[in-house]
Amino acid sequence: MQRIDLPSSSRLLSPDFTFGVATASFQIEGATQADGRLPSIWDQFCARQGHVKNGDTGLPACDHYNRWQKDVEMIRDLGVDAYRLSIAWPRVMTQDGQPNTKGLDFYKQLLDRLQEFDIRSFVTLYHWDLPQHLQDRGGWLNRDTAYRFQDYASLVSRELGDRVDTYATLNEPWVSAILGHEVGIHAPGMTNARLARQAGHHMLLAHGLGMQTLRQEAPEANAGLVLNMGPNTPHSRRYDDRAAALIGEASMNHWFLEPVLEGRYPQLYTRLRPELTPQILPGDMEIISQDVDFIGINYYTRGIVSFDREKWVKDHAAKDAEVTDFGWEVYPQGLTDLLVDLNSQYILPPLMITENGMAGDDHLEQDRVHDEQRCRYLQSHLQAVHEAIEQGVDVRGYFAWSLMDNFEWAEGYSKRFGMVYIDYETQQRTLKDSARLFADFLKQRPASR
Ligand code: GCO
């Protein structure tokens, strides 16, 4: 098997660079009705026919709720420094805002075990599993949900105390706002472009209110948020295609970053599409733009775009490119380009790569999974992070998505992103070659750690 190769002087090999694996509650936990967990918008979405491939649901997922002890040992054996997980809001808070002790105990035990193993925890508060009772009152279209999120952040940070090293308020608000409210392929399945941006604004408000609370209740913890991003490459050198690339980036990459770092939405987009600009109340942008300790970047691929008269931006498939099982182009250079570009446009806090990985057509053969493409993907993307750091970007960590195969949203269990293979019938876990490669790499880092 190949080895991960980086220059010996690389910052990625320094003791203060964090390596981890990432998961999210709804994607791995299963046990959707255990111990008083309330329904979430994803339970509801899965139950509506035709929304999720093969009618898959949050059951069984990886049954992590019952198998967490072994899973944490598996994480330890990989040799990572940190584990990124998310808390299921509907597990830990009752409908009237009280703590659900049993749900909280699950996370307390898990986090205690991580601490025992000297693994730092990166906890995402919102990875898309909004309690359904809040959706019934308008969900993210209702401004009040941002305040309910603040209550939830307060409950979690008080209950979990110093077990958490780093909090992320939200994971990928672009995805939950746009795919959930404009494109309609994610919960809650709405299709209204203007309302999608309004939902996004309330998510940002939730982020800001959540930050205020975390600063008070968990002053020792780091806190920030996680955004999905990718560079947009113009389909041709034509002026209008290059303009489309800028518009695409404003509508996705900058739409959530600029408010947080600079307290305003990208003007390129608000001027072009004023009808989509959300309603902003006085004081909102101040709440949203508080200092964060880090920004998490989730990177999978780039976009290739051309100008379109109706939609402004039209996506194209990459020609003659290597793609993953999802059809996404493998384009590590895009990660370097993205990071360098952001660094030139903003005064950034430290960055973490909070997700990076790929779906593979993985098969279990004689207790092994030869995910050769994922091994190459890992190598080339770590190299891409290294190059961005060489060009001056302050990247402090890298989390592989994902620890194990799991529920891939609208794709159900059909797409496998894990470094560990899950047999959903037997719940057996098998390390893929990529997990072995990653573990070897982590163990060979200089001993000063
Ligand atoms: C994300 C998603 C993950 C997905 C992954 C692959 O944060 O993008 O949170 O949950 O599984 O991105 O699509």
Q: Per residue in 233-256, pLDDT tens?
A: 999 999 999 999 999 999 999 999
Q: What distances in angstroms separate CA 32 from CA 40, 131, 405, one per listed residue? A: 9, 12, 18
Quick check: CB of 298 below 6 Å from ligand 1?
A: yes
Question: Is the peptide bond between 188 and the residue preceding it cis, with omega within 30 degrees of 0?
Answer: yes
Please check the confidence at residue 3 and state whether its pLDDT lies above 80.
yes
241 by DSSP, 3-state: which? helix
pLDDT of residue 358: 98
pLDDT of residue 1: 57
Q: Shortest CA distance to 207 belongs to which of 263, 251, 248?
A: 263
Q: What distances in angstroms separate CA 359 from CA 22, 179, 270, 406, 448, one per listed residue? A: 14, 19, 34, 11, 34
Distance 282 CA to ligand 1 centre (A): 33
Cite the active site residues: 172, 355
Quick check: CB of 406 below 6 Å from ligand 1?
A: no
Average pLDDT over residues 384-404: 98
Distance 402 CA to ligand 1 centre (A): 9
Quick check: CB of 411 below 6 Å from ligand 1?
A: no
Relative to the CA of 24, which ligand 1 atom is closest? 10
Confidence tier at 424 by pLDDT (50, 70, 90): very high
Distance 405 CA to ligand 1 centre (A): 12
pLDDT of residue 449: 53
pLDDT of residue 447: 66
DSSP per-residue string spanning 295-346: EEEEE---EEEEEETTTEEEEEPPTT--B-TTS-B--THHHHHHHHHHHHHS
Distance 238 CA to ligand 1 centre (A): 33
Quick check: CB of 355 below 6 Å from ligand 1?
A: yes
pLDDT of residue 365: 96
Buried b (16+ CB within 10 A) or exposed e, 67-88: bbeebbebbbebbbbbbbbbbb
Relative to the CA of 359, which ligand 1 atom is closest? 6
What is the CATH number that goes with domain 11-444? 3.20.20.80
Contact 21, 83 (CB under 8 A): yes
Strand partners, 170: 126
Quick check: CB of 306 below 6 Å from ligand 1?
A: no
Query: Ligand 1, from 252, 356, 374, 401: best to mutate by most atoms within 8 Å of Cβ?
Result: 401
Tens-place pLDDT, residues 315-348: 999 999 999 999 999 999 999 999 999 999 999 9
| Mean pLDDT rounded to a whole number for the chain | 97
For the chain, what are the domain ranges? 11-444
Q: What distances in angstroms separate CA 92 from CA 7, 36, 37, 86, 187, one per listed residue? A: 44, 9, 7, 12, 20
Q: Shortest CA distance to 305 belongs to which of 295, 296, 318, 314?
A: 314
pLDDT of residue 395: 98
126 by DSSP, 3-state: which? strand
Average pLDDT over residues 434-439: 98
Relative to the CA of 27, which ligand 1 atom is closest? 10
Tens-place pLDDT, residues 163-184: 999 999 999 999 999 999 999 9
Q: What percent of the chain has pLDDT over 70?
A: 99
Distance 171 CA to ligand 1 centre (A): 9
Quick check: CB of 401 below 6 Å from ligand 1?
A: yes
Contact 413, 424 (CB under 8 A): yes
Please check the confidence at residue 448 and state whether its pLDDT lies above 80.
no
Distance 446 CA to ligand 1 centre (A): 31
Tens-place pLDDT, residues 5-55: 999 999 999 999 999 999 999 999 999 999 999 999 999 999 999 999 999
Beta-carbon count within 10 A of 395 CB: 22
pLDDT of residue 2: 79
Q: What percent of the chain has pLDDT over 90?
A: 98
Handedness of CA 235, 268, 388, 11 (dihedral sign): negative
Q: Shortest CA distance to 120 belongs to which of 84, 79, 160?
A: 84
Q: Shortest CA distance to 431 belongs to which of 350, 367, 366?
A: 367
Please check the confidence at residue 140 and state whether its pLDDT lies above 80.
yes
Tens-place pLDDT, residues 186-206: 999 999 999 999 999 999 999
Relative to the CA of 408, which ligand 1 atom is closest? 11
The residue whose C-alpha atom lies closest to atom 13 belonging to ligand 1 is 408
Confidence tier at 135 by pLDDT (50, 70, 90): very high
pTM over 0.85: yes
Contact 279, 209 (CB under 8 A): no
Quick check: CB of 42 below 6 Å from ligand 1?
A: no
| Cα 64 versus chain centre, distance | 18
The token duo for 189 is 């399945």
Tens-place pLDDT, residues 257-282: 999 999 999 999 999 999 999 999 99
